[in-house]
Structure 1
Amino acid sequence: PKSWAADGKAAKSPRAEAGRRALKARSMVESIEAPLAGGEEEADGDLESPGSLRRGLRSTSYRRAVVSGVDLDGSSNLKKKNRMSQPVLKAVVEDREKFSSLGRIKKMMLRGQGTFDGEENAVLYQNYKEKALDIDSDEESEPREQKLHEKVVFHHKPLRSTWSQLSVVKKNGLSEAISQEERKRQEAIFEVISSEHSYLLSLEILIRLFKNSRELSLTMTKTESHHLFSNITDVYEASKKFFKELEERHQNNIFIDDISDIVEKHASSTFDPYVKYCTNEVYQQRTLQKLIATNPAFKEVLSRIESHEDCRNLPMISFLILPMQRVTRLPLLMDTICQKTPKDSPKYENCKQALKEVSKLVRLCNEGARKMERTEMMYTINSQLEFKIKPFPLVSSSRWLLKRGELTAYVEDTGLFSKRTSKQQVYFFLFNDVLIITKKKSEESYNVTDYSLREHLVVQQCDSEDPTSSPVKNTSAMLYSRQSSAIHLFRLAVLSNHAGERMEMLLGAETQSDRARWIAALGQDRDGQKTDRTTLTQVEIIRTYTAKQSDELSLQVADVVLVYQKVNDGWYEGQRLRDGERGWFPMECAKEITCRATIDKNMERMGRLLGLETNV
């Protein structure tokens, strides 16, 4: 009856109420002492109950005690009223003495925030843009940081974590308590750690969903599988060891004094698997293309795996190239730390040494990939050449292909009563030390008609605006005027051919950029030492480009390139800032950098990277 219920509620004694609250507090404390599986659940009851205080210690009170150093023992009223929470308060005081330990802070404060402990909101490395690669990162002001923070809150975009965005840093006001220079240095150090975590997550997806897929493995041979995935598991384990030490250093103190020793140690020893993986790149790309083109079963299973939600609509190739991308970005990340470290500090020299080691690692990776590709290509070309003249020993470990392609050669034939000009197709194989001149019989067969050492070649462009400058005598001016609208001409003088004779050739390329590329490749002097780099245009890459020919440059988004030559039909010849590699790439992949401060900063960075005497 309602009257009984009303009487019963009104008749509750203070003793009964106290017993109920004590029982509830005991049950909550016992449940909280278990693992934090239910840490996110809210507890009922008012703020004065021991259970509510214990819940608060797991969030607000604990954070204040650990971060701000508030002495909760000084609150005598809390001790008297809530004796059951006393052991918990004692634990907080013990932790306060170690408030710099980010490990406990992260477990209690960052749970579910996707910094390092949650993968559901973590950013895959394909979508992670290191701030060190952002050419305007230093111009970023405080108001802009607030804007980025608002973007995270309201749009819920999984952006990369920064040091200043960590809860422990924001709640304690640490970023405001230090100088702007030190804050930038902490950001640069933290970025190495956070980007390694993102990279590790992507590698885990590659291994779990693609490499370990039984269904996918059944569609190809073991050799194809090995060419496709190589030693990616070893690369993953090396990254895990690297990240473990980085995170331990981060856990020891919110302010990371230095990570140069960790980077140097792993770059010189642990990262050996990277060299092997990058060396396999040629076989990897070729195998994947072949499987997709000729194996319907493989293509179907691959498409199904790529649609998995963990892949986030990214193709397998974007996962396979990650080790190459990561290893080439490490020098830039370390260089950024170097840039933010005072030059009179011992840390600066340590950082330079670490930068040298990662640069050496990248050089070994590049050399391994190039050596494998060059060696295979040399044997392939050698098997396709048929010498109609004295044979030339082509295969050599110190020789590699610079450029190959078809050109039109114009030859003057002198008859009994007149002269006439005929044209014929020639196919050039230009190596770093020799030019092989052939006639193409088929896609895989070439007759060698002549050859010359590269040092005996002199190339000269024909000026289309001045037909009289044509290199071929007599009828060449007329020839040039007839052909200039369709063919772009240049002259090649061979000072000594295979027979020791001098000869001249008038050659035509189909496009303006093709002519420029042949002139640059055939020319012995690339103007690299004479040109003042500070006067060159700088461009930032806005779209990834993969080289399709030997004289082209593969580029990643955010790469900076110095432009040596611009051709009106849409091509640049440039030098990659991070490693000094030179080649051609489409203009549409880049945008010009106009900020003077950024240009100067890029030149300083290039000086540091290339000054290590290692071709990154």
Structure 2
Amino acid sequence: PLLVSFPPLLPDTAQLYQQYSEAAQNIEIKRQARSDVVSVYGDSIPSPSPSPPPACRPLPPIPPVPHPHSLLQSATLWRELPGVQDSTELEKLTDDQRRLQEVRFEVVTSEASYCRSLDIVVEHFVQSKPLGALLTTQERNWLFSRLADVRAISHSFLSKLEERVETDIMQFTVCDIIARHCQRFKMVYVPYLTNQSYQDATYQRLMNENPGFRRNVERLERSPVCQRLPLRSFLVLPFQRITRIKLLVQNIVKRTTPGTAAATQAIKSLKLLEKLIQQSNDSITEMKSIESLVSLNAKVDFEGRTLPLISQSRRLVREGPLTELMDNCQKETERSVYLHLFNDYLLLSLLKEGGRFTVIDHCPVSDVRAENFGFKLHSLQKNLFRLHMTHRSPVLRTDTQSDKLRWMSALSRKNPEIDFLGVKDLPQMQCIRAIVSQQPDELSLEKADIIQVHQQSSDHWVQGIRLSDRQHGWVPESHLETIINPKVRQRNLEDALKLTTATAAV
């Protein structure tokens, strides 16, 4: 299908989704430093330079791109469309109504950029015969998954959005179209996102072990059509897009008059998107959990009572090495131990040669408790806590303060909640470089995500809760920037409360 069905409305600026996303996130980061900006779209802050590459999914430097909805680029703001400028209705709209239409229009323009990027990855990479000749069927499935299906559904979605704008350029809505497409999104996005770990592993292996694959990818990446963007930046597009649509719909909910049909429809589409993303996350977690349990099961010996490890409902919460301080009567003063904390059981093991574990004790998490421990006889000992299990209560030491805090937090099973009222004026931080979680108790963040901070360690880790969806976890402080302005922090809480209240009411 043709990408743009009515050229005068959506001019082909050749901007790719990666550039749109980078610029939009930079605008939001800049906005958090100001207290006088009430609209995401009503200011003309220039984009800062792109941030350093995100962890695990590196992007090369890309040239600074004007925000797609800045005055620097003609006819990409809704209010700059000739049909809007010439309309007598424009003067009758309030500022909030205009901002609402800008957000709705961004759904359309950003989808056009997204389709442009999908066209390139499918036509330039997926359909490349020299590249395809180097891949087995399995490698091809893991590397490109269902990108062609994602592209087809996205083009269909874009055409419906464009038709809607053409029908009523002044008062068009988009959330009912989003809601109708969520089932189709689910059919392609859940499998694609679930496949992501296989995709990453396959890409890395081929780049390291297959010189022909590396040469062909680098040759294709040098083409002007890619605009200096690497294959990996195209492969992550579906994940970035589905989270971005959710963010845009959240902005629509915040701008829509409560209790109206439009508000109900916006909240319905938001809930469907949240459900889709949650299903994707659950599918990823389940797949990783089963794989790790099968792997662990092959490396574990039980000293006493055995425990069947493989279970469909078992999820890893945290794992890692610690040091156990022995009683004075013991020959050794300390020994290395290893904890596997699952959502239902805790395993205490000794790490053996060859990466094997000997489980010396295990118990249900309902019997587990951790408490801070001050060791008076060893005043130089730091990062100690006592672990109460059913049959023993060892004193454990971690290498860093963050490890201790993370273990105590995971063992307590108490999750932080958002302080909507701002009674304590808890610190807020925004993500300035995307971060991919490496442990189950960590939180993956996109640029411009905002967290309310609940505790920080001396070695620069932060535990927080993301305001947009109330997901919690630990993040390295190096990827965050403190939001200093109290007015901005208050506005962020008000926005989060407005979303929570609106979705609870429908």
Tell me the TM-score normalised to structure 2 length: 0.85
After superposition, residues 310-349 of structure 1 pair within 5 angstroms as 310-349=225-264
> How far apart are the structure 2 equivalents of 1:165 and 1:139?
20
Q: Which residue does 1:285 correspond to in 2?
A: 200
Is the helix fraction higher in 1 or 2?
1
Q: 1:491 aligns with which of 386, 397, 415?
A: 386
Q: 1:175 to 1:591 in 2, by over 3 A?
A: farther
Decide whether the 8 Å contact of 2:428 with 2:483 is kept in 1.
yes
Decide whether the 8 Å contact of 2:348 with 2:362 is kept in 1.
yes
Q: 1:441 aligns with which of 352, 356, 361?
A: 352
Q: 1:587 to 1:212 in 2, by over 3 A?
A: same
Residue type at the aligned position of 1:539: M
Decide whether the 8 Å contact of 1:260 with 1:350 is kept in 2.
yes
> How far apart are the structure 1 equivalents of 2:116 and 2:269?
24
Measure how far apart 1:274 and its partner are.
0.9
Greater CA deviation, 133-142 or 522-531? 133-142
Residue type at the aligned position of 1:116: L
Decide whether the 8 Å contact of 1:292 with 1:298 is kept in 2.
yes
Q: Which residue does 2:53 correspond to in 1?
A: none
Q: Which residue does 1:203 correspond to in 2?
A: 118
Q: Which residue does 1:273 correspond to in 2?
A: 188
Q: Which residue does 1:16 correspond to in 2?
A: none
Q: Which residue does 1:481 correspond to in 2?
A: 379
Residue type at the aligned position of 2:67: L
Measure how far apart 1:185 and its partner are.
0.9
Q: Are 2:391 and 1:391 equivalent residues in the alignment?
A: no
Measure how far apart 1:117 and its partner are.
4.1
Decide whether the 8 Å contact of 1:125 with 1:195 is kept in 2.
no
Q: Are 2:341 and 1:430 equivalent residues in the alignment?
A: yes
> How far apart are the structure 2 equivalents of 1:125 and 1:366?
22
Q: 1:559 aligns with which of 449, 454, 458?
A: 449
> How far apart are the structure 1 equivalents of 2:366 and 2:420?
21
Q: Are 2:424 and 1:509 equivalent residues in the alignment?
A: no
Q: 1:353 to 1:282 in 2, by over 3 A?
A: same
After superposition, residues 238-277 of structure 1 pair within 5 angstroms as 238-277=153-192
Measure how far apart 1:195 and its partner are.
0.9
> How far apart are the structure 2 equivalents of 1:375 and 1:566?
32
> How far apart are the structure 1 equivalents of 2:27 and 2:46?
17
Measure how far apart 1:410 and its partner are.
1.0
Measure how far apart 1:542 and its partner are.
0.7
Q: Are 2:13 and 1:124 equivalent residues in the alignment?
A: no
Q: 1:208 to 1:517 in 2, by over 3 A?
A: same
Q: 1:156 to 1:568 in 2, by over 3 A?
A: closer
Q: Which residue does 1:599 correspond to in 2?
A: 489
Q: Are 2:350 and 1:455 equivalent residues in the alignment?
A: no
Measure how far apart 1:586 and its partner are.
0.9
> How far apart are the structure 2 equivalents of 1:393 and 1:613?
41
> How far apart are the structure 2 equivalents of 1:148 and 1:133?
7
Q: Are 2:280 and 1:372 equivalent residues in the alignment?
A: no
Q: 1:236 aligns with which of 151, 169, 174?
A: 151
Decide whether the 8 Å contact of 1:579 with 1:609 is kept in 2.
no
Q: 1:444 to 1:216 in 2, by over 3 A?
A: farther
Measure how far apart 1:425 and its partner are.
0.6
> How far apart are the structure 2 equivalents of 1:613 and 1:175?
30
Q: Which residue does 2:37 correspond to in 1?
A: 139
Greater CA deviation, 159-168 or 241-250? 159-168
Residue type at the aligned position of 2:408: I
Q: Which residue does 1:575 correspond to in 2?
A: 465
Measure how far apart 1:251 and its partner are.
1.3
Number of residue pairs matched by the alignment: 473
Measured against aligned partners, the alpha-carbon deviations of 1:257-299 in whole angstroms (never above 9, x if no partner) come to: 3222111111134542111111212211222222223333322
Decide whether the 8 Å contact of 1:454 with 1:524 is kept in 2.
no
Q: 1:198 to 1:586 in 2, by over 3 A?
A: same
Decide whether the 8 Å contact of 2:26 with 2:448 is kept in 1.
no
Decide whether the 8 Å contact of 1:123 with 1:158 is kept in 2.
no
Decide whether the 8 Å contact of 2:24 with 2:67 is kept in 1.
no
> How far apart are the structure 1 equivalents of 2:40 and 2:239?
34
Q: Are 2:441 and 1:524 equivalent residues in the alignment?
A: no
Measure how far apart 1:564 and its partner are.
1.4
Larger-Rg structure: 1
SS in 1 for 2:386: strand
Gaps of 5+ in 2: 48-62, 69-75
Decide whether the 8 Å contact of 2:115 with 2:154 is kept in 1.
yes
SS in 2 for 1:525: coil
Measured against aligned partners, the alpha-carbon deviations of 1:352-372 in whole angstroms (never above 9, x if no partner) come to: 122222222212222222222
Q: Which residue does 2:67 correspond to in 1?
A: 159
Q: 1:126 to 1:550 in 2, by over 3 A?
A: farther
Decide whether the 8 Å contact of 1:132 with 1:332 is kept in 2.
no
Measure how far apart 1:573 and its partner are.
0.9
Decide whether the 8 Å contact of 1:430 with 1:436 is kept in 2.
yes
Greater CA deviation, 314-323 or 294-303? 294-303
After superposition, residues 222-233 of structure 1 pair within 5 angstroms as 222-233=137-148
Q: 1:334 to 1:534 in 2, by over 3 A?
A: farther
> How far apart are the structure 1 equivalents of 2:83 and 2:503?
41
After superposition, residues 76-95 of structure 1 pair within 5 angstroms as none
Q: 1:348 to 1:191 in 2, by over 3 A?
A: same
SS in 1 for 2:264: helix
> How far apart are the structure 2 equivalents of 1:183 and 1:146?
16
SS in 2 for 1:304: helix
RMSD over aligned CA atoms reads 3.1
Gaps of 5+ in 1: 1-102, 150-154, 463-468, 471-476
Decide whether the 8 Å contact of 1:189 with 1:256 is kept in 2.
no
